């Protein structure tokens, strides 16, 4: 990466991977990647080598989120350098293998872009996940995607919170991109969710092709939702959940609706004995991953975000 005038130069994004099955019961990514493994013509572009890859094959075979531990939290420096071989948890072994193939993480030899495909049971629509507010390549790509699919919506979730950010499978790449599409139950394939994910990948790969061919992208502004806080369910002294997400959270009854404003004093939880617990935070926030099934084990009812606008510098090929 280098600078020019008011812009930034990046090397061509020649090596791109598409990960499916990081969580083995999130079916859109699993099915798309399996489709493209058999015939990758749809995802190939000029000047780009795109590799579809099933990241957690044992979990996919069992149609479960993971076997031993969450693969999408396994790419820490400690795990990637851990000795032990077959004695390590399966997903840690797999993380080390993925890092050898697509990394090493943080090195010049790492893949340029990794798209990691996920489904959520939350009603959050199409969401691109950004890991750095300074990744102008990804910001420009996300701006391109948002414009390409308009008037359909695709929001951007920014997670660079020092305590809430985690070591994702996509973090091996120079430019990691997460894609969450929902709502979709675990182990289920819905055609509208499948096709929405497919369309977003098409436009993302089109952007990379245009960039590699020399197109310059002018400065742009991108609205993002920055992760602020993780909210757990209310619990008793023994750690048991005593309340559920309030039916009015998101102002969509009977379904939770992500990205709607939550203001101080708004209903947040409904206890099993009929009481309402209100949001007591400072200022308006925008909850997402509301009632995500996979996050009960992680003691998370939803995360709050704050809406802001990021400005991305112009970019062009170095």
Report the catalytic residues. Answer: 180
Is 190 annotated to bind ligand? no
Is 107 annotated to bind ligand? no
Do 219 and 229 touch, CB atoms closer than 8 A? no
Is 297 annotated to bind ligand? no
Residue 308's closest CA among 155, 164, 182?
Answer: 155
Spatial neighbors of 87 by CB under 8 A, at least 6 apart, are none
Is 230 annotated to bind ligand? no
Residues 233 and 124: their CA atoms lie apart, in Å, by 19
Is 169 annotated to bind ligand? yes
Residue 308's closest CA among 182, 125, 160?
Answer: 160
Is 171 annotated to bind ligand? no
Q: At what angle do helices 136-149 and 191-212 cross, to 10 degrees?
A: 130
Is 61 annotated to bind ligand? no
Is 143 annotated to bind ligand? no
Is 180 annotated to bind ligand? yes
Spatial neighbors of 288 by CB under 8 A, at least 6 apart, are 122, 124, 127, 157, 225, 258, 259, 302, 303, 305
Binding residues for substrate: 72-73, 166-170
Binding residues: 23, 26, 65, 72-73, 118, 166-170, 180, 295
Binding residues for Zn(2+): 23, 26, 118
Binding residues for N-acetyl-L-aspartate: 65, 180, 295
């Amino acid at each position: 990466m280098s600078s020019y005038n008011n812009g930034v130069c990046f090397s061509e994004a020649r090596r791109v991977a598409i990960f499916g099955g990081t969580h083995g019961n999130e079916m859109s990514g699993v099915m798309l990647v399996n489709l493209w493994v058999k015939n990758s013509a749809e995802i190939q572009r000029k000047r780009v080598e795109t590799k579809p890859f099933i990241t957690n094959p044992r979990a996919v075979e069992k149609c479960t989120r993971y076997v031993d531990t969450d693969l999408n939290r396994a790419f820490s420096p400690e795990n990637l350098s851990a000795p032990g071989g077959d004695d390590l948890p399966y997903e840690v072994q797999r993380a080390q293998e993925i890092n050898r193939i697509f990394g090493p993480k943080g090195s010049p030899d790492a893949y340029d872009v990794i798209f990691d495909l996920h489904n959520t049971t939350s009603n959050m629509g199409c969401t691109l996940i950004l890991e750095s507010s300074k990744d102008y390549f990804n910001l420009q790509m996300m701006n391109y995607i948002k414009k390409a699919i308009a008037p359909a919506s695709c929001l951007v979730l920014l997670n660079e919170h020092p305590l809430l950010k985690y070591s994702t499978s996509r973090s091996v790449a120079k430019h990691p991109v997460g894609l969450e599409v929902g709502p979709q139950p675990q182990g289920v394939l819905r055609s509208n969710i499948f096709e929405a994910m497919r369309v977003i990948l098409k436009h993302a790969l089109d952007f990379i092709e245009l960039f590699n061919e020399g197109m310059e992208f002018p400065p742009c502004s991108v609205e993002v939702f920055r992760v602020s806080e993780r909210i757990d369910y209310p619990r008793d002294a023994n750690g048991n959940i005593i309340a559920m997400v309030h039916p009015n959270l998101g102002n969509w009854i009977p379904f939770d609706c992500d990205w709607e404003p939550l203001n101080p004093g708004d209903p947040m939880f409904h206890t099993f004995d009929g009481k309402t617990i209100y949001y007591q935070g400072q200022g308006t926030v925008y909850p997402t991953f509301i009632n995500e099934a996979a996050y009960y084990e992680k003691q998370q009812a939803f995360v709050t975000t704050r809406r802001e606008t990021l400005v991305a510098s112009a970019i062009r090929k170095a």
